[in-house]
């Protein structure tokens, strides 16, 4: 079938992106779903730093690539062998298609699925090579098994979580990455216990979701840190008890908590911010790295802090989540008013304004923008 998709053909960090225009909406050919796959009409796709990191080259991916990895839509057709999803179902798409049988999946860590990671790295789908091609017939790579900045996409069944049809798809899309990653880190990777003191550094979509998750988990104190005042104000609206600018934040956290945070989560993807997150801990505390820095960047931490002070540093990919289990759980918290995910939405835009959305994200002003692929 013919459809529209947003294609990146060359990386660039030349800004503003509204002028350099690295992304173009192109007419593409999309193959029919194979065994174990779904054809999805995309209705909403969140714009995330993981998309921006492909544009600026921080995350090396094969090009050309149709971007977008946080999305929700409606199933239009199912491939052979798919029996638990049908046309008309509403789905949230997740960016690791877990196979269910590799060592990582079998040990309860589907976010680290080896075949899923290999398919994502190759720009393919879990069940086979790319189904996208351009007007000349040349292949286009899939992004994280989704390529959601498009009117239609074929995805692995394993990439889709069926959700109730009464959940607005613009809201539902945010559960596929921002909520799954941020709330997952505070509920799965290093779970918050009621009464604990928590800090969150970096207040984009993932960081704000971590704030919401920590509040929902019963943290007594949730301290949010970001240089952008509007993001600090938003954090106070969605669950933070305190909001600080980065300057002096480490000392202020220690004063507020009487020694440091018990748990601290980093969502900036910047080594210096992760180092500050670690320094804000009390003795025996745990820092969680959620952000994705450039692969060349390194970290400097005092070695004695681990054995000498009992501090911990752990990584969290996709919130250590099991999407089929966790997305319904987080949706229940949203419906109960305990995770106001709707507040994360900065703007909605048609696909034609994707470069504008990238610039707003790169500038640090946007929390979560959602593209509406079916909009004119």
- State residue 155's pLDDT score: 98
- How much is the average pLDDT of 251-255? 98
**Per-residue pLDDT, 84:** 97
Mean pLDDT to the nearest integer, 222-233: 98
Q: What is the pLDDT of residues 136-191, one digit of tens each?
A: 999 999 999 999 999 999 999 999 999 999 999 999 999 999 999 999 999 999 99
Dmax over CA atoms of the chain, in Å, equals 64
The reply to whether omega before 196 is within 30° of 0 (cis) is no
Confidence of residue 26 (pLDDT cuts 50, 70, 90): very high
Strand partners, 47: 369
Q: DSSP per residue over 106-144, as a string?
A: HTT-GGG-HHHHHHHHHT-BTTBS--EE-TTS-EEEEST
User: With bands split at pLDDT 50, 70 and 90, how would you rate the model's confidence at 213?
Assistant: very high
Tell me the average pLDDT across 127-134: 98
Q: Read off the pLDDT of each residue in 193-214 and give the average, rounded to a whole number.
A: 98
DSSP state of 32: P
Average pLDDT over residues 190-218: 98
pLDDT at 221: 98
In this structure, the chain runs to a length of 376
- State the pLDDT confidence band at 5, using cuts at 50, 70 and 90: very high
Reduced to 3 states, what is the DSSP secondary structure of residue 373?
A: coil
82, 37 contact by CB (below 8 A): yes
Region 287-313 average pLDDT: 96
> What is the per-residue pLDDT for 87?
98
Give the C-alpha distances (Å, rounded to integers) separating 364 from 191, 204, 369.
28, 8, 12
The mean pLDDT of 256-267, rounded to a whole number, is 98
For residue range 30-45, list pLDDT tens digits in order.
999 999 999 999 999 9
Domains of the chain: 2-178+321-372 (3.90.180.10), 191-315 (3.40.50.720)
Taking residues 210-233, what's their average pLDDT? 98
pLDDT digits (tens, 9 = 90+) for 47-72: 999 999 999 999 999 999 999 999 99
User: What pLDDT is attached to residue 88?
Assistant: 98
């Amino acid at each position: 079938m013919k459809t529209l998709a947003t294609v990146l053909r060359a990386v660039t960090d030349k800004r503003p992106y509204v002028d350099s225009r690295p992304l173009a909406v192109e007419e593409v050919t999309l193959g029919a779903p194979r065994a174990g796959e779904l054809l999805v009409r995309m209705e909403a796709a969140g714009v995330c730093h993981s998309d921006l990191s492909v544009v600026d080259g921080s995350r090396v991916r094969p090009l050309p690539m149709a971007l977008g990895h946080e999305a929700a839509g409606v199933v239009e057709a199912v491939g052979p062998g798919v029996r638990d999803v049908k046309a008309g179902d509403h789905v949230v798409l997740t960016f690791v298609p877990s196979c269910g049988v590799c060592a990582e999946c079998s040990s309860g860590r589907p976010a680290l699925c080896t075949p899923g990671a290999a398919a994502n790295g190759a720009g393919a789908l879990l069940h086979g090579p790319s189904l996208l091609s351009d007007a000349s017939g040349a292949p286009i790579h899939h992004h994280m098994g989704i390529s959601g900045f498009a009117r239609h996409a074929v995805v692995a069944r394993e990439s889709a979580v069926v959700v109730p049809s009464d959940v607005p798809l613009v809201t539902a899309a945010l559960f596929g990455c921002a909520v799954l990653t941020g709330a997952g880190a505070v509920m799965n990777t290093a779970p918050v216990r009621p009464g604990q003191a928590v800090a969150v550094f970096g207040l984009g979509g993932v960081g704000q979701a971590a704030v919401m998750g920590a509040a929902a988990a019963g943290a007594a104190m949730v301290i949010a840190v970001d240089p952008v005042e509007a993001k600090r104000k938003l954090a106070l609206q969605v669950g933070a008890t305190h909001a600080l600018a980065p300057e002096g934040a480490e000392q202020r956290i220690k004063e507020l908590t009487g020694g440091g945070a018990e748990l601290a989560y980093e969502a900036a993807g910047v080594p210096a911010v992760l180092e500050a997150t670690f320094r804000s801990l009390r003795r025996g505390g745990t820092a969680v790295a959620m952000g994705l820095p450039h692969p060349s960047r390194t970290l400097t931490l005092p070695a004695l802090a681990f054995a000498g002070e009992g501090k911990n540093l752990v990584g969290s990919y996709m919130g250590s989540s099991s999407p089929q289990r966790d997305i319904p759980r987080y949706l229940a918290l949203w419906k109960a008013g305990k995770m106001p995910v709707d507040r994360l939405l900065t703007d909605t835009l048609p696909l034609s304004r994707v470069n504008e959305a990238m610039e707003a994200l790169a500038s640090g002003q946007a929390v979560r923008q959602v593209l509406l692929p079916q909009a004119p």
